[in-house]
């Protein structure tokens, strides 16, 4: 009986958060149609930030917000595969592979160098560098066990990543327009340089639908680099706790990518009608708007003040390095 009540409470708490996000997403979608230059994704972030700042998102909402960000984002990615052709995915991967490798390697290495200049603890520096260069908070969560990071170090690293993710929404589309980026180049840039998967995909779609598709593919390829990084890091750190390494590797592999590829294979074979592709794509985009509303709601702007200037500067340096390196590589290879 008590277990049944606990389950009911859990699902009620989750439902409240999901309903809140759906309401914000619908509002953002409506406003985005009216003010198309701003777009629904940016409206979702802004509305989430405003509500999150003036209204404490209590525990009863947090469960639902976490579900939207962690689970529904993966569903959105899988749904995007329904409208993508496998040949196009392979071609995008081929074009972006060198850009991704260069950005990941230089991003981690130069961030570590800069953090040591500021005399920051190597654990915090590595988490910021890996989070910035690969896949944001997911990467930090995967490596914190191997690094044996303290809770405050993990919180600092995640807060830094979240802050510069937010900045990306305002900066990247503007710079893309300024540099007259086409959809493919911008998609590769956002997929390579923006930290979290949710943010990279959303920034791409904020630019254009095609850029969003490209950003999704590139970001998923970039996420796979977390696997070798976990292995290399465990060797370099001399970590003998096999449980930590095994757990990190398990969390590092994004299984939903296999479903994304599977859907694109079915689409390439003609299994999906054009109407289904359009519906799937539109639904995926709405879920992305929901995800960004949830991200905005969870941001603690007051918490950034407590970071201190050294983690902030390290995060800024890492974000700029990854962005500029990928930008130069795209221009050089195009």
pLDDT at 87: 86
Better-predicted residue by pLDDT, 296 or 216: 216
Task: For residue 15, give Cα distances in angstroms to 9, 60, 289.
Answer: 10, 9, 17
pLDDT at 246: 63
With a cut of 80, say whether residue 289 has pLDDT above it. Answer: yes
With a cut of 80, say whether residue 7 has pLDDT above it. Answer: no
Better-predicted residue by pLDDT, 42 or 241: 42
What's the predicted TM-score (pTM) here? 0.85
Residue 96 confidence class, pLDDT cut points 50, 70, 90: confident
Neighbours of 116 (CB within 10 A): 13
Better-predicted residue by pLDDT, 70 or 105: 105
With a cut of 70, say whether residue 242 has pLDDT above it. Answer: no
- DSSP for 33-81, please give it: HHSTTT-HHHHHHHHHHHHHHHS---HHHHHHHHHIIIIIHHHHHHHHH
Give the residue among 227, 74, 244, 71 at the shortest CA–CA distance from 148: 244
Query: What is the average pLDDT score of the chain?
Result: 84
The percent of residues above 90 in pLDDT, for the chain, comes to 33
Better-predicted residue by pLDDT, 298 or 3: 298
pLDDT tens string 47-56: 988 888 777 7
pLDDT at 59: 63
CA 85, distance to chain mean position in Å, is 23
Cβ within 8 Å of residue 133, ≥6 positions away: 103, 104, 107, 108, 111, 139, 318, 322
């Amino acid at each position: 009986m008590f277990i049944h009540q606990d389950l009911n409470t859990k699902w009620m708490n989750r439902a409240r958060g999901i309903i809140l996000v759906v309401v914000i997403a619908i509002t953002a979608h409506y406003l985005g149609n009216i003010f198309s230059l701003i777009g629904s994704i940016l409206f979702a972030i802004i509305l989430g930030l405003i509500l999150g700042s003036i209204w404490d998102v209590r525990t009863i909402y947090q469960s639902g917000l976490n579900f939207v960000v962690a689970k529904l984002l993966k569903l959105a990615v899988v749904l995007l595969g329904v409208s993508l052709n496998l040949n196009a995915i392979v071609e995008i991967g081929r074009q972006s592979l060198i850009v991704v490798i260069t950005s990941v390697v230089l991003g981690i290495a130069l961030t570590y160098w800069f953090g040591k200049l500021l005399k920051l603890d190597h654990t915090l520096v590595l988490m910021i560098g890996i989070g910035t260069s690969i896949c944001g908070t997911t990467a930090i969560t995967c490596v914190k066990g191997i690094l044996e990071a303290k809770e405050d170090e993990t919180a600092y690293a995640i807060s830094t990543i979240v802050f510069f993710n937010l900045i990306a929404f305002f900066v990247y589309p503007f710079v893309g327009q300024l540099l007259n980026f086409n959809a493919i180049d911008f998609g590769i840039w956002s997929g390579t340089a923006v930290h979290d998967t949710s943010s990279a995909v959303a920034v791409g779609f904020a630019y254009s639908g095609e850029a969003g598709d490209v950003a999704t593919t590139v970001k998923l390829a970039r996420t796979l680099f977390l696997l070798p990084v976990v292995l290399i890091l465990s060797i370099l750190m001399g970590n003998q706790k096999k449980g930590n390494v095994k757990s990190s590797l398990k969390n590092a592999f994004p299984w939903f990518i296999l479903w994304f590829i599977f859907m694109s294979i079915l689409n390439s074979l003609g299994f999906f009608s054009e109407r289904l592709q359009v519906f799937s794509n539109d639904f995926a985009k709405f879920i992305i708007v929901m995800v960004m509303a949830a991200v905005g709601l969870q941001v603690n702007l007051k918490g950034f003040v407590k970071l201190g200037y050294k983690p902030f500067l390290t995060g800024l340096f890492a974000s700029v390095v990854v962005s500029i390196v990928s930008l130069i590589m795209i221009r050089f290879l195009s």
